[in-house]
Chains A and B, each alone.
Chain A
Amino acid sequence: MALKTEPMVEQLELLGCIQCGKCTGGCPVARKTVLNIRSLIYQMLVEPELDVAAHPELWDCTCCFTCVERCPKDVRPAELIIGLRGQLVESGRIPETIGAALMGTFRQGNPTGMAREDRAAWVDGTEVKAAQEGCELLYFVCCTASYDPRVQPVARALVRAFQAADLDFGTLGTEESCCGNEVRRMGEIGLFEMLVEENSELIRSVGASRLVTTSPHCFNTFKNEYSLDGMEILHYTQLIAELIEQGRLKFSHPPNLPGREAEGKVTVTYHDPCFLGKQNHIFDEPRAILKAIPGVKLVEMDRNRERSLCCEGGGGRMWAEGTNLEERLAFQRVHEAAETGAEVLAVACPFCLLTLEDAVKVQGLESRLQVMDIMELVDLAL
């Protein structure tokens, strides 16, 4: 499938590239696949055409945006990958699972394609106001947190925390649809734009002054790709850290970790999610929360903050196998976590939670390391 390179080179402003190699150099996936974004950019620059279909490794990109963050000439290499994926989507040459995720999002408002009417089932009895009735804080739950049983406890924990802090919050219930962050990154621009339009209208109609999300992915797109002017967009770690600082959320005891002696102490290490840390520079709030929890001792992995190793959950990778299944970055990551001596690997993203927990299981580290969302720890200490 021959793509004429010039239009995309101009549109994406790839001309600024000096081929320094920092993008491929820092790309976590470049080490385990043939994906070489620098080389792709160069080919776009020097060849009149590119055979996009000859690059299945395009689906390996996790959109961690390390390349974008570090490019010294402000070229946005990952946008080329997204653009090329768009070409593949248009021509229908996409992995089946990606197609299914996109179709599910289109039909049922979530990539797993589960029924829309089941979206609010996670509340499980807790009282959650419908945002459509008006509220100050709109809590955007996220498809994964709504449907995945492993992640639903995080949503419930957040609700309990909001209630404890006496916040006027609400959710969109079954009217909530996928934010589209991953949809755009999978290359489906049309569907993304549709979601943006519909979601924006719905969100604005609520009239809330703040919007908080479970997932850094939702946070990222609402903050940087939607134009929800007048609304303050927050990831939950920002809000929870604020509530703790204001004294509106208080911990009463160390977290009761199931299956352990209640020793009152737990060593925790924190994995910076790419969409929260690298891309939006939120490193301190999650740590502030952890440090505020009584009994928690926070240890750092060597590759933390800006150098956090991507869990391979983003960029559509939750629904794409990728070209190298054997060497998963998540395996390396959980070993790094275990090496710190931590008992808990804390995360702040549903995708990190799922991929890293899976990695712990596959790597047989269950006896040493437990993967938990920060909210789960908070919930156990309230």
Chain B
Amino acid sequence: MMEPQPRIGVYICHCGTNIAATVDVAQVAEFAATLPGVVVARDYLYMCSDPGQALIQQDIKEQGLNRVVVASCSPTMHEPTFRGAAQQVGLNPYLVEMANIREQCSWVHRDREQATEKAKLLVASVVAKAALLKPLEEREVGVTPGAVVVGGGVAGMVAALDVADTGFPVYLVEKSDRLGGHVADLNRVFPTLESAAELLEPLIERVTSHPHITVLRNAEVVGMEGYVGNFTVEVRDSGIVDSGFGGDGAESTNYESTNLRTLDVGSIIVATGYDVFDPHRKPELGYGQYPNVITSLEMERRLATEDLTGFSKPVRSVAFIQCVGSRDVQVGNPYCSRVCCMYTAKQSRLVCELLPEAKVTVFFMDVRTFGKGAEEFYDEARAKGVLYRRGTVSEIYRRGDRVVLVGEDTLLGRPIDFEADLVVLAVGMEPRSDIADLSTLFKLPRSADGFFMECHPKLRPVDTVVDGVFLAGCCQGPKDIPDAITQAKAAASSALIPLIRGAVLAESATAVVDADWCAGCGMCVEVCPYGAPALDPFWGVSRINAVLCKGCGTCAVTCPSKAIRLQHFTSEQILAQVDALVE
């Protein structure tokens, strides 16, 4: 059947002044109208707006357009918008292409003339490709109802509950032998000063008694295959499955993890938590050398048992040092650990209550008490007698059985040698020591600070670049309990969407093998990161699983026989683009 002649509509967006200030959009539209196959070319203020889309739709209907080119912002912004607009009036969404004349042109150049010429070239190139676009099928695949939550801390538990409460089976995989994560190590929480154990117990109880949640303790994820909606997760565990759990952790036992099980699920939530900064890495603070210097976590245990013995007696002076291991390029952690200012205010205040005669001092750089009720909590701590001194401590040495903090009070403007009986280091959070392995396992990239990277720091804080895998809690970055819980619920929401819908859209622009040309060398199988191609055992040629394929194109460029074609990015299309650019 003869392919109908391309009838291309070209739309140049002003994007307000984002494009129009640098590129002469009218001129570009004029130029576009002269390109082969172009039936109509317009420019408009905001193509993504309702009237902008209506322009396209009207032209499709009235001018019989069968291809659309929108020259505007990056496709990551509005490709779905324009594809959707076309689809609504019956044009296959893959017959729409975009030319990025904003991020790749108007936003990076200043000279109007040159930028306009470049925009014209970009448009010509995309128009050339558009002429060769083919319609592609949109496919849906079914979703395995169920989720795996990796990590049984507060974030993992809340995420599991939200998914399970909606009626889906959840496997909660916890590496250690108990649930609760780091919160279980805490005494009281800020700003309410409630007992952490009392907060956790009902949560753990709900999780372990939930009909839809299977808790696997002493368990580790050792393999992950598949794609959104259809994951296969391999877990090595102890073979013992929870059906009840003692509230105070007394029943926890270490089982040998030798059992291998396979879980088929639709969504995965990673909630693997954090590690605490090891203050041995700041030897000048004397941790490990002086018994008087402890970490904040150790202080939590002390406060829980109300035992402040073992230091110089009597304990007349307690000092807290903020930002140990955070905001510090010397140890490779330039970021803020977010919770330490609040937990220090909490601990210092509790110490005041426990030791009314003692002097309690906090040495800080900034006080970051930003949450709900937090500033008021900080006010209370000071009212209760905690003295805040601005100036971070440089080193600690011993004097008798006490220690001396060497620092400067930047508000007094002079150095101080501050004697203390007990020093608490406000240690920060770090990515887990095994995060590199987890990263490889789940194919999750990490941000510059070493924590898992979210899709977009503003608008997609729990999604990852791996569809179907979501992040919850501190594995994505330091945060306090309410924020971790909020994020866990957010991850649950993202995880629930495919589960509730029961189907996901598979990638349409996938690679296809021309069996006549395929030599069966198997190189495509080797290079594919998604395991999509496989050699047919009978015919000896490669077949690509269109659902596993993500359209990355690696196989297509690797194939020595040129047997693989990546739909929507075929050689003809790309070469046509190049030709248009160099002509």
Direct contact of A and B (CB under 8 A): yes
Which A residues have a C-beta under 8 Å from some C-beta of B?
18-27, 30-31, 36, 38-39, 66, 69-74, 302-303, 305-307
Please give, as numbers and ranges, the residues of chain B lying within 8 Å of A19 by CB-CB distance.
Answer: 410
In the bound complex, CA of A18 to CA of B414 (Å): 16
Within B139-192, the residues touching A (CB, 8 Å) are none
C-alpha spacing A27/B416, complex, angstroms: 11
User: Given B323, B330, B395, B410, which contacts A38 in the complex, CB threshold below 8 Å?
Assistant: B410
Chain B residue total in the interface (Cβ 8 A): 28
User: Could you give, for residues 375-410 of chain B, a 1 whenever the CB lies within 8 Å of some chain A CB and a 0 otherwise?
Assistant: 000000000000000111111011000000011111
Given A305-B283, A306-B284, also A70-B415 (CB < 8 A): no
CB <8 Å contact, A74 and B329: yes
> How far is B418's CA from A25's CA once the two chains are assembled, in angstroms?
11
Given contacts A25-B392, A36-B415, A303-B397, 13 further A-B pairs with CB under 8 A are A21-B409, A21-B410, A22-B391, A22-B408, A26-B284, A26-B395, A27-B415, A30-B414, A31-B415, A38-B408, A73-B327, A73-B329, A302-B397
Contact between A25 and B408, CB atoms less than 8 A apart:
yes
Q: How far is the CB of B390 from chain A (nearest CB, A)?
A: 7
Complex CA gap A18/B397 in Å reads 25
**A25 and B393 contacting across the interface, CB-CB below 8 Å:** yes
With both beta carbons as reference points, the residue of chain B lying nearest to A30 in the complex is identified as: B415
A24 touches B415 (CB 8 A): yes
Question: Which B residues are in CB contact (< 8 Å) with A66?
Answer: 394
B413 at the interface (CB under 8 A from A): yes
**CA A305 to CA B280, docked complex, whole Å:** 13
B328 lies within 8 A of chain A by Cβ: yes
Q: A16 CB to closest chain B CB, in angstroms? A: 9
Q: Within 8 Å CB of B407, what residues of A? A: 21-22, 25-26
Tell whether A20 pairs with B283 under 8 Å between CB atoms, given A25-B406, A31-B417, A36-B414: no
B527 at the interface (CB under 8 A from A): no
Please state if B408 and A24 are interface contacts (CB–CB under 8 Å).
yes
Question: In the complex, A306→B284 CA distance in Å?
Answer: 6
A26 B394 Cβ-Cβ under 8 A: yes
13 A–B pairs (Cβ distance < 8 Å), ordered by A: A18-B366, A20-B391, A25-B408, A31-B417, A36-B408, A70-B394, A71-B330, A72-B323, A73-B327, A302-B397, A306-B284, A307-B283, A307-B284
| Separation of A74 and B328 alpha carbons in the complex (Å) | 8
Contact A21 B392, beta carbon cutoff 8 Å: yes
Please tell me if the beta carbons of B391 and A21 are within 8 angstroms of each other in the complex.
Answer: yes
Contact status B408-A307, CB under 8 Å:
no
- Does the CB pair B330–A69 fall under 8 Å? yes
- Give chain A nearest CB distance to B530 CB in angstroms: 41
Inter-chain contact B394/A22, CB cutoff 8 Å: yes
Q: Which residue of A lies closest to B329 (CB)?
A: A74
> CA of A36 to CA of B415 in the docked complex: distance in angstroms?
8
> Could you say which residues of chain A place their CB within 8 Å of the CB of B240?
none
Q: A25–B392 Cα gap in the complex (Å)?
A: 8
The winner among A23, A69, A70, A72 for most chain B CB atoms within 10 A is A72
Q: How far apart are the CA atoms of A66 and B415 in the complex, in Å?
A: 14
The complex places the Cα of A257 from the Cα of B417 at a distance, in Å, of 38
Shortest CB–CB separation between residue B526 and chain A, in angstroms? 41
Tell me whether B365 is interfacial, beta carbon within 8 Å: yes
CA–CA, A26 and B390, complex, Å: 15
A25 and B397 within 8 A (CB): no
Shortest Cβ distance from residue B246 to the other chain A in the assembled complex, whole angstroms: 43
Chain B residues whose C-beta falls within 8 Å of the C-beta of A70 in the assembled complex: 284, 330, 394-395
Residue contact B413 to A25, C-beta cutoff 8 Å = no
Considering the complex of A and B, which 9 residue pairs feature the smallest CB-CB distances, nearest first? A26-B394, A21-B391, A25-B407, A21-B408, A25-B408, A25-B394, A24-B408, A21-B410, A72-B328
Instruction: Give the distance in Å from the alpha carbon of A303 to the alpha carbon of B395 in the complex.
Output: 10
> Nearest chain-A residue to B417 (Cβ)?
A31
Query: How many Å lie between the Cα of A36 and that of B412 in the bound state?
Result: 12
Question: Cβ of B415 and Cβ of A25 under 8 Å apart?
Answer: yes
Residues of B within 8 A of A69 (CB): 330
User: B278-308 toward A: CB 8 Å interface, digit per residue (1/0)?
Assistant: 0000011010000000000000000000000
